[in-house]
Amino acid sequence: MTFADIEGVLGTSLPPSAAHHRAWWSNNPTNNVATKEWLDAGYVTEQVDLERGAVVFRSVPPTHVAEVAAPPWATASEVAVLPKPTRHPLFGALKGLVLVAPGADLTEPADPDWGTGD
């Protein structure tokens, strides 16, 4: 697919880094949000051509996604037991729990003397 084709499917532009950095297209699930999506959909990237603005997506069985997405230093036995990447159960647990005291000025520096050398 060309990058323009991908943008058409997404309905939005790819980030500028996608067109300039081959690493953006790596199959590392912690690389960016998009990587996790194509891996979860059962695809891996191959043949990234930044000059032409194109990438090949190859369909892989779900059981093989962990193998492709594993760090290069992982041994075969480590890859076999890699869990599907998920968020920690506490992710977002504090959402909505931040309270701001009445009259607090959030734009005021916490330490007005910071950086003055005092």
Summarize pLDDT for 39-61 with one digit per residue, the tens. Answer: 888 888 988 999 999 999 988 87
Element (H, E) at 47: strand 43-49
* Model pLDDT, residue 5: 92
Q: Is residue 89 part of a domain?
A: no
Nearest CA-CA partner of 21 in 9, 6, 31: 31
Domain annotation covers residue 40: yes
Question: What is the percentage of the chain residues whose pLDDT exceeds 90?
Answer: 15
pLDDT digits (tens, 9 = 90+) for 59-82: 887 655 555 555 556 665 555 555
**Exposed (0-12), middle (13-18) or buried (19+): which is 60, by Cβ within 10 Å?**
middle
For residue 2, the model assigns a pLDDT of 93
Q: Is 51 a member of any domain?
A: yes
Within a domain: 92:
no
CA atoms within 13 A on the CB side of 71: 6
Average pLDDT in the 12-32 region? 87
d(C-alpha 86, C-alpha 29), whole Å? 10
| SS3 (DSSP) at 48 | strand
Q: Which residues form the domain of 20?
A: 3-80
* Residue 25 pLDDT: 92
C-alpha to C-alpha distance for 26 and 45, rounded to whole angstroms: 7
Question: Which phi and psi (to 5°) does residue 49 adopt?
Answer: -120, 95
91, part of any domain: no
> Is 111 within the bounds of a domain?
no
* CB contact at 8 A, 58 and 43: yes
Counting the structural domains of the chain, the total is: 1
What number is the average pLDDT over the span 79-106?
72
Which H/E stretch holds residue 49? strand 43-49
